[in-house]
A and B are shown apart, each in its own frame.
Chain A
Amino acid sequence: MPKFDESMEGMLDTFLFETGELLENLDEILMRAEQAEDISLIEESDIAEIFRTMHTIKGSAAMMGLQNMSALAHAMEDMFYIIREKTYVQTDKSALFDLLYKSSDALKGELEDLTDEDKPLTDFSGLINDIHVLAAYFKGEAEKSGQEDNALPADIFDENEPPDMLTYRLTYSDSCEMPSARAIVLFRKLGAVAEVCRTIPPDMDDDGADGKIKAAGLFIKLVTDDRAAVERVLAAGMNVENFELFTPEMLKAQTSAAPAKQELVIPDGVFLPDDPDSLLTYRVMYSESCAMPSARAMVLLRKLGAFAEVCRTVPADLDADSADDEIAKNGLYIKLITDDTNAVERLLDSGINVESALPVKKPAVPQKPAEPAPQEEKQEVGQAEKKPAEPKKTAAKAPKKEQSLLTVKLEKLDRLLDLVSEIVITESAVTSSPDLRGLETRLDRFNKSSRELKKLTDELQDVVMSLRMVPVSTAFQKMNRVVRDMNNTLKKNATLVFRGEDTEVDKSIVDMLGDPLMHIVRNAVDHGIETPEERLAAGKTNPPTVTLSAGYESNEVVISCKDNGAGMDAAKILAKAKKNGMLTKPESEYTEKEIFNFVVAAGFSTNEQVTQYSGRGVGMDVVKQNIEKVGGKLIVNSVLGKGSSFTIRIPLSLSILDVLSVEVGASSISIPASSIREAFSCKAESLITDPDGNEFVYLRDRCFPLIRLGEKLQIDTDITEPADGICMYCREGQYEAVLLADRIVCDQQVVVKPFSPLLDGLHLKEAGLAGCSILGDGSMTIILDMLSLLGGELGEEAQNG
């Protein structure tokens, strides 16, 4: 079974995105609100923002037909209604925020699971109940027995109960201390004359039962043959002030909060004097369980657009806060013109949660005593009548949202980027066309125009590149939550400080950063920051702080996480590394930098105990791998007693690579500049051949295996001796070798394009080829994959590992 209305499937992406954003935003506000000393001191704007966010989530979830999310959001909204209106008598800040975070996490989790058909919708009733309980606590619960109709339990009438079941409502006198105890006695007596099926509240032993009975009364559901006897027993009950036979109609009358009679009143504005006869009017009633009829109505109207021209609705503005109440009370009136009344009626009947949809005739006699201010209304409606309701609605919506942001699919941006690079290449192909060289005439105007064209295309490229840039703050903000949660459990009171969070980087980098940052921040709080006692003992008076900063350095984005905690003890790490058998050279040869690098190696944890947050020695290793996957580096530094810093450096754009282009035979081959340590001419005597035929190049007291690119890549070339070509000492990971090429062409920046998936069968990556790149003049170069080239068969393994 699909989780949401099928007709809404097209909206799913938007829903996921928008709700996701809202929830992120919510976390941020919650975090800010939590700073307040007391609930009454929370900024009003924050409360309003939370309230609005929950309202929006409630609405869109209801529109998607996701009742569980909508109900949870509704409960949170209710909670904040109490806070906003300050109707609480007592508060419990930590319980409130714990619950709010839990709910927000639950909603986030649900969003993630939404696209997974196998996972059923989560039941949030436990959480919702918790919120209600807390809300009741805030309000001081039973104090408000006066407004009993508000507290009427919703489940008095069960749909599948037998028709002969009777429901009695008992009210106890105010002086009765323990109505629940009285009730138990009463039930026992009733047992003689009737079968009591159910009571509300169900459990008389429950602590809350007294309050509930006092607030809403005691409901007894029973089946009996002798009503008179039952009523006698009830009347004789101790402290019973009043009892009455309760019917579903009474419930409706009381809960609908409409003081008017149940009979429907046609609200003003439904029938206007100058409505044409062809204008049909429908009244749509929504079932009471429908949380947001206005949202349903919008969907319904959109669907109606296919068959009919909807001229207006009453209430007119479905976005208005009051629209829900109005619809629940009076129903939704839709005025439309159609050729196919059957189709319209079918559609209306099939609407979600629609209880009834009936055509309404214009009353023969003007029913209203005097049409209040019909003039103004007419003008307004007159305009709307010309157009269907749809554009009017969106027009009304636009200014309210004040949205200056536009969400675009990433694929479209990528396509745009592709096109722009194509234009740049074509532009240079046109302006530097070899045909121009043969021309005798001077090309002044042509040259001037082509310079202008070049400027424009360059600017275009910059703009398109910047479209993908987003501030790193989105990744930073999430860390607030991490630190808050850890502070709660570890009691370290660490504060998180941001610097340069406006720094813009490629969207894919921000997405990638989430996980590594979390690990690093967790580590900083868990390992780095000391407990308050330890800090005191160490004489540290400054508050424990974790600083996240971002900025650019040359062509790289630099993101660092610094803490002012205990720092790391190089000697201790070295000892631990030795114990784990991780040393590859004598202890004394390790520099401090190399030692700290052990921290991010697999299976290394200095924490003696595995805690909830860290200590398994897995995290940092994964962090390092993730960062290296996108061409970045992770640098660790630390001063014992002062704190540690973890710095991530990532190239600005993931797809642009610095390469050294060389020629091998007729082929242009590009080697990633990051792995070239040195290019040199090799003398013939530096070439060493061992008895097994292996060739080495002797460079500064060390021997490296020689890889002839021509031979390795099966390219024909005349240059096979190192002395004739150019040698490059390359290093990637743990692999080192000297590559031989014919000659160096240039160093340049290229955009790496992976090979077409159609060529997967050729195993080019394993052969040492990473992809290709199209150069400015339209020609192509092949880019090497250094890890598999240098590592040989091992390279593949090393990549997977």
Chain B
Amino acid sequence: MIIHHPILGPRDAQEFVYLGDASLIDRPDGMTAGVEAFHDYAYNRDNPAGEHRELWYHEQGDRSWLVVTRNTVTHEISRVELARDVARSRGRSK
């Protein structure tokens, strides 16, 4: 597969490490959320046949974490974003 890195352009997926569902960005706050919320965060994932937002790490490149929107059936990649930007847009900061 080819991932169109937002900064570096097309890069072979071989350079990346796959993590999984981009919902891992939405980590609950450990001081306020309880075991249930963390259980959900750590273990529960959707497994769609179709569009999936997922985390890829450019380990053999610039070490950017990316959010890749990929169709799990066709492998078509419709969107690639820097995970840092996605995290900020979802209200994450420090």
Whether chains A and B associate is no
Chain B positions near chain A (C-beta within 8 angstroms) = none
